[in-house]
A and B are shown apart, each in its own frame.
Chain A
Amino acid sequence: MRALILVALGLTVRHRERLPKDGPAILAGNHNSNLDALAMMSLMPLRLLPKLRPVAAMDYFYSSRLRGWFADQIVGIIPVKRGSGKEGGNPLLLAEQALDRGEILVIFPEGTRGEPETLQAFKKGIGHLAKARSKVPVVPGFIHGLGKAPPRGSALLVPFNVIVSVGEPLYGKESYDAFVSELEAAMTALAAQEKLPAWE
């Protein structure tokens, strides 16, 4: 998969030096394609690969056995049950434990892939997580190109260059809402620096 992303698509990383050198850390990306998590993971050196854990929705990845096996065994996702926070549980417990073990989480705060190549409002989960572990850096990464390569609902891979622009690390705050807005603003700023060709 790494080879596919690096050779067939080609990954350009802007500000590579802003990436965390080691865990614990959180990489927050925008979500346009199934390959996003793999693109984010291929940003980090291979030696950190065992520590990389994408956080993903349970209902999607465990909807079929094959997908569940792939997500568990190959990618090593951390499952989150959507909406379980309302029932009183802590949906992010597994994620917090992973951070305590020094792992690096890959999170897509938009929560869903949505419309390709457009940013959507962030969900609050990342704010809660950053508040709970406020010493852990949250590094925003704006990905573009992958939403064109295979957008939602299409399995056909058409090669496009992929660019990931890495932002300065942010840290959790008392107010999770304020943190989410700050992260959103950072992501929008990264997007604004890119010259994106029209795609309609």
Chain B
Amino acid sequence: MSAILGLPANVVYATVAIYALLVIASIVVGVLRWKNPGERYSELASRTDSWWWMIGAFTLCILLNQTVAIFFLAFISYLALKEYLSLIPTRRIDREVLLFAYLAIPIQYYWAAIDWYGMFIVFVPVWMFLFLPPLLVLRGRSEGFLRAVGTISSGLMMTVFTLSHMAWLLVSGDVVNPVAGGVGLLFFLVVLTQFNDVAQYCWGKLFGRHKVTPHVSPKKTWEGLIGGVATTTLVAALAGPYLTPLDMRWSALAGLILGIAGFLGDITMSAMKRDLGVKDTGGLIPGHGGILDRVDSPLTRHRCSCTSSATSTTHEQEPAHETAQVPVLRRGGARLDPCRARSYGAASRAAA
């Protein structure tokens, strides 16, 4: 893989493309506002402005170096967990226990950083799940105990476990992705995820008629969903071969999964907000709401994109595949499979 500034060339091209898209979007929004001054497009304008900030921060941190990137992603988890814990009803006596929930973040990202997949994958759903209830019991009050266990555990799953997959893709992706490295995989995932949100929003705004879930998220329409998923699938098919080890067909499938999973993540967060009686999860990002509003769709998606590929069966038994020299294998094998490939990496390291 060729490199520019120490980064895979394709990732640099993708970054340039994103910024170009952003410039075009800003121009379009600017023209719309100029033609229709007033309130109508002000939310759209602040949304676009926020995109500049978010994409700026993301690209800067991710491209700077891996350690900075992991800290950045962990900080996103922290913001999301804090927002979640501030929204849910909590018991006064559990205040100190919540610190342990926060402590799960550095630990989980550490497993990702050292690429210990076995620990990474069980730490939150098993260890934290079993470790927190006794702590809550030791606070000495049983009323509301089950609610506390349930809300805190699912919060950790939502904000720490799922989001940390970004860090893990970044670290472990190099072995499986000779085309653009871990950073390419992360880019593919994050950019498409967010792109899909925007695509569904645009399609919905332009053609939306029939509601998908009138009670949970009345703004979501079938037109937006189908149009968005189709657009994402198309973009994925075009970009996938340059950023991931997938060929065009598998990239399209990845895009399809991303699109649908993103929608499911989105309505899951809507249901949560409705249950809590709030509109936005916070005021962090102008025009978007809180950080949970922004990362809702990645939540489900990151997990899906990994598990779905883990079901792959075409694993060539090529013991000789030492890290980088496997373009044929990966392109031919045609399956993004970071979950299984992790054991590959370990195996080849053991062999060496």
Contacts and interface: CB of A to CB of B under 8 A. Distances in A.
Interface of A: 9-10, 12-14, 116, 145, 148, 151, 154, 156, 158-161, 163, 195, 197-200
Interface string B136-147: 000000000000
A57 B119 CA distance: 53
Contacts of B79: 10
B86 interface: yes
A145 B92 contact: no
Contact of B95 (A9, A148, A163): A148
B278 A161 contact: no
Chain A interface, >50% SS class: loop
B99 A10 contact: no
A159 B276 CA distance: 20
A43 to B, nearest CB: 13
B87 interface: yes
B268 interface: no
A158 B96 contact: yes
A156 B99 contact: yes
B284 A199 contact: no
B282 A199 contact: no
8 contacts: A13-B283, A159-B78, A160-B86, A161-B82, A161-B282, A197-B88, A197-B276, A199-B89
B90 A12 contact: no
Nearest to A9: B82
A116 B85 CA distance: 17
Task: Name the interface size band of chain B.
Answer: 20 to 34
A9 B282 CA distance: 12
B326 interface: no
A13 B284 CA distance: 10
Nearest to B95: A158
Interface string B63-99: 0000000000000001100110111111110011011
Nearest to B84: A161
Given A145-B86, A151-B95, A160-B82, 19 more contacts: A10-B282, A12-B283, A13-B283, A14-B283, A148-B90, A154-B95, A156-B96, A156-B99, A158-B95, A158-B96, A158-B98, A158-B99, A161-B82, A161-B282, A197-B86, A197-B87, A197-B276, A199-B91, A200-B92
A155 B98 CA distance: 15
Given A195-B276, A195-B278, A197-B276, A161 B89 contact: no
Interface in B82-134: 82-83, 85-92, 95-96, 98-99, 102
A62 B71 CA distance: 41
Closest CB pairs A-B (n = 3) = A12-B283, A161-B86, A198-B89
B141 to A, nearest CB: 10
B277 interface: yes
Interface of B: 78-79, 82-83, 85-92, 95-96, 98-99, 102, 276-278, 282-284
A197 B89 contact: yes
A163 B102 CA distance: 20
Contacts of B86: 145, 160-161, 197
Nearest to A149: B95
Contacts of A195: 276-278
A76 to B, nearest CB: 29
A200 to B, nearest CB: 6
Contacts of A151: 95
B82 A10 contact: yes
A10 B282 CA distance: 10
Contacts of B283: 12-14, 163
Contacts of B96: 156, 158
Contacts of A161: 82-83, 86, 282
Contacts of B91: 199-200
B87 A12 contact: no
Contacts of A14: 283
Given A10-B284, A158-B99, A159-B102, A197 B82 contact: no
A150 to B, nearest CB: 9
Contacts of A145: 86
B277 A12 contact: no
Contacts of B92: 116, 199-200
B103 to A, nearest CB: 11
A161 B277 CA distance: 17
Contacts of A13: 283
Contacts of B276: 195, 197
Most buried by B among A154, A161, A163, A199: A161
A13 B95 CA distance: 24
Contacts of B99: 156, 158
A21 to B, nearest CB: 21
Contacts of B284: 10, 12
A139 to B, nearest CB: 19
Contacts of A200: 91-92
